[in-house]
Amino acid sequence: MAMSDIKTKPTPSIEQTLGLEQQAISRLKQHPWRWGGLLVLLLALGGVFFVFKRESKPVNYQTEPVRRGDLVVTVSATGTLAPVKEVQVGIEVSGTIKDVPIDYNDRVSIGQVLAVLDTTRLEAQALQSESALNSAKAKVMQAEATLQEAQVKMNRLNEVKRLSDGKVPAPYDLDTAIATLARAKADLASAKAAVEQAQGALDVNRTDILKAVIHSPINGVVLERLVEPGQTVASQFQAPVLFKLAEDLTQMELQVDVDEADVGLVKEGQEATFTVDAYPDQTFPAKITQVRYGSQTVDGVVTYKTVLTVDNSALALRPGMTATAMIVVNKKTNVLLVSNAVLRFSPPKTPVREQKTNGGLLSAMLPRPPHSESKTTAVAINTKEQLVWREGPKVLESLTITKGVTDGVNTEIIAGPLEVGTELVVGIVTEP
């Protein structure tokens, strides 16, 4: 072998000699997923470190104290004002209105003339009825004369029969006389009935003339006047209403519709207050006098008509005004009260932290069954019992109380380990 050949041949490295470099490259090419697994392992280690090293922030609660006070439970209802006694005055005869001497808001007394109907036609009808009555009376006189004639003839025949010892008159003549007498009596009765009929017709005509003048049936105020002079009214089927009168506006009634869910709380004698749109800043007192049993359904809502008396001595209220009433159904004085927000609060459900095991890092990384949640609810003995919460040294403490009545904002506490000033939780304060 020549010397020049030995000098030009390169010397191999240790890696090349052992073949390690080629083996490493071939392994990476054959198993590229190992780099991804290494990256996932590093991320999991960072997450586990964050979970075990982070510190939980303290929870701040908003509280309200238990207090003593008065509680008024009310039921709301709407309705309209109306006079205690309202009379609709109509007319029973037809004709043309001749005069209307009264107007709106006029005060009227019993017997005062409200309107006058033209009686020309009615007087003519009365005159005809009077003539018919006189004619009927004349027929009665004629029937009486006929009866008297038949009675005389009958008496004569009976006398002849008695004197002849029954030989005369002939039976036919006697029967004819008997029939004639009976017919005369019937004609007289018919004539008398015709007199009574004619008298009745005359009385009706005279009554219609009297009814043509409309009088006030009460002492009151004219609310509506629905007729004018010259207007024709017809009363063939029903009496048309001409006036509406209110007897006394100083005493009125408020008729409200109470929902079926509240009607069990409403009773006669309860006090109430109401407002009207005409005086939004003023409240008026009222008192329940009647809760009617009959129901009415409007748009699927069942309500019961309730009547309240109203003192309107100042005449500030008017019939037809819409009123919103607040009926006092219960009143408690000097009782323990809590806000309804206390009763609505329920502590959030938090997972129970598991104790550390000897599994170490591998145990933390392996999947586990779902955590069980702490149970903070309890079954109440009855619907009046409920849990409320107060802050303890470390966790919230539950207290069992018995509820009373509520006005929608505050609730009475009947029983329970509560005192005035006890701070109860109403919510969690969230940091901005």
Label residue 26 by pLDDT band (50, 70, 90): low
- So what's the pLDDT on residue 408? 85
- So what's the pLDDT on residue 140? 95
State the Cα–Cα distance between residues 340 and 330, nearest whole angstrom.
18
Residue 13 pLDDT > 60, yes or no?
A: no
- So what's the pLDDT on residue 1? 40
> What would the mean pLDDT of 64-89 be, rounded to a whole number?
92
> What would the mean pLDDT of 31-38 be, rounded to a whole number?
58
Residues 415 and 350 in one domain: yes
Residues 148 and 225 in one domain: yes
Domain boundary, last residue among 233, 258, 287: 233
Split into its structural domains, the chain has a count of 4
Residues 171 and 308 in one domain: no
Cross-strand bridge partners of residue 304? 258, 295
Residues 201 and 267 in one domain: no
Residue 41 pLDDT > 80, yes or no?
A: no
> What would the mean pLDDT of 83-92 be, rounded to a whole number?
91
Residues 263 and 214 in one domain: no
Residues 136 and 195 in one domain: yes
Angle at 260 between CA 255 and CA 262, to 5 degrees: 80
State the Cα–Cα distance between residues 201 and 128, nearest whole angstrom.
9
- So what's the pLDDT on residue 354? 42
Q: Within a domain: residue 239? A: no
Residue 331 pLDDT > 80, yes or no?
A: yes
- So what's the pLDDT on residue 376? 40
CB atoms within 10 A of CB 125: 18
Residues 214 and 109 in one domain: yes
The more confident residue out of 71 and 238 is 71
Residues 106 and 198 in one domain: yes
Residue 221 pLDDT > 60, yes or no?
A: yes
Residue 45 pLDDT > 60, yes or no?
A: yes
Judged by DSSP in three states, 135 sits in: helix
Residues 66 and 105 in one domain: no
State the Cα–Cα distance between residues 405 and 113, nearest whole angstrom.
57
The more confident residue out of 40 and 219 is 219
Residues 267 and 178 in one domain: no
CB atoms within 10 A of CB 60: 10
- So what's the pLDDT on residue 337? 92
CATH number, domain of 303, equals: 2.40.30.170
Q: Within a domain: residue 319? A: yes
Residue 374 pLDDT > 50, yes or no?
A: no
Alpha-carbon dihedral of residues 181, 187, 192, 196, nearest 10 degrees? 150
CB atoms within 10 A of CB 157: 18
Residues 397 and 272 in one domain: no
Q: What stretch of H or E contains 221?
A: strand 220-225
- Whole-model pTM? 0.61
Give tens-digit pLDDT for 141-152: 999 999 999 999
Label residue 7 by pLDDT band (50, 70, 90): very low
Q: Within a domain: residue 309? A: yes
Label residue 375 by pLDDT band (50, 70, 90): very low
The type of residue at 78 is: T
> What would the mean pLDDT of 122-138 be, rounded to a whole number?
94
Residue 351 pLDDT > 50, yes or no?
A: no
Q: Within a domain: residue 6? A: no
Contact 332, 405 (CB under 8 A): yes
> What would the mean pLDDT of 85-104 be, rounded to a whole number?
92
Residue 284 pLDDT > 60, yes or no?
A: yes
Under 8 Å CB-to-CB from 420, ≥6 apart: which residues?
65, 66, 67, 68, 336
Residues 227 and 92 in one domain: yes
Residue 38 pLDDT > 70, yes or no?
A: no
Query: What six digits make up the tokens of 322?
Result: 């819409």
Q: Locate all alpha helices (DSSP H) within 65-119, ordered by sequence.
A: none
> What would the mean pLDDT of 40-50 be, rounded to a whole number?
61
DSSP state of 352: P
Alpha-carbon dihedral of residues 94, 100, 102, 108, nearest 10 degrees? -40
Q: Within a domain: residue 55? A: no
> What would the mean pLDDT of 74-79 be, rounded to a whole number?
94
- So what's the pLDDT on residue 166? 84
- So what's the pLDDT on residue 357? 45
CB atoms within 10 A of CB 206: 16
> What would the mean pLDDT of 251-271 be, rounded to a whole number?
94
- So what's the pLDDT on residue 429? 81
Cross-strand bridge partners of residue 309? 253, 287
CATH number, domain of 191, equals: 1.10.287
Contact 104, 222 (CB under 8 A): yes
Query: What six digits make up the tokens of 106?
Result: 């006029």
Task: State the Rg of the chain over Cα.
Answer: 53
Range of the domain at 35: 17-49
